[in-house]
Amino acid sequence: MDGVGQVQLMTPQAATSLQSYFPNHNGFSQLPEQLNSWVRHQITQFNTEHYLASPCLPLRLQLGDRKLTIRLVIDRPGEQYLLLLALEQVFSILASLKLIGLSKREAEVLSWIIKGKVIGAIAKETQIRHSTIRKHLENIYSKLNVQNRTEAVTVALEKLGCLHSASLI
């Protein structure tokens, strides 16, 4: 973009992504209004705080199972700005838990545990008997080689890369 917000160059992939996330926007010599507002705000922040050399915060938009991350790079203040777009697939917690070897029902039970639910609440929500939920928990503990819910949640999150175990000593 130039200094007045006119788009100078856009890749076909960027145009497609923007059209997906801003379907009511026509033409790409200008940015969609919502995106343009975000860019102007970031530039204003930079202009008032540039002596701190603070980076612009990315804009993250989710649409279904895809996430678009937009970063503003201030190349030449007042003259040229770059927008970098990254599109990635986002897995639901259930899909992610199945990736670590849990069955669909075990993943569902563990996802409720992660949300802080107790067996009674899980039974009510899923319409599964208490004894069946306990059996799913036993299977989860065995598969993750743990003894309790806290360990199951911790190990699952570590395996998914959401939590990094570090020695406390």
**40-88: pLDDT as tens digits:** 888 888 877 655 555 678 999 988 878 999 999 887 777 888 999 998 8
Q: Would you call 102 helix, strand, or coil by DSSP?
A: coil
Its CATH class, for the domain covering 93-159, is mainly alpha
Single pTM value for the model = 0.56
Helix axes 104-114, 130-144, angle to 10 degrees: 90
Q: Please state which of the ranges 26-35, 81-90, 146-155 shows the lowest mean pLDDT.
A: 26-35
Where are the chain's structural domains? Answer: 12-89, 93-159
Burial (CB count <10 Å: 0-12, 13-18, 19+), residue 72: buried
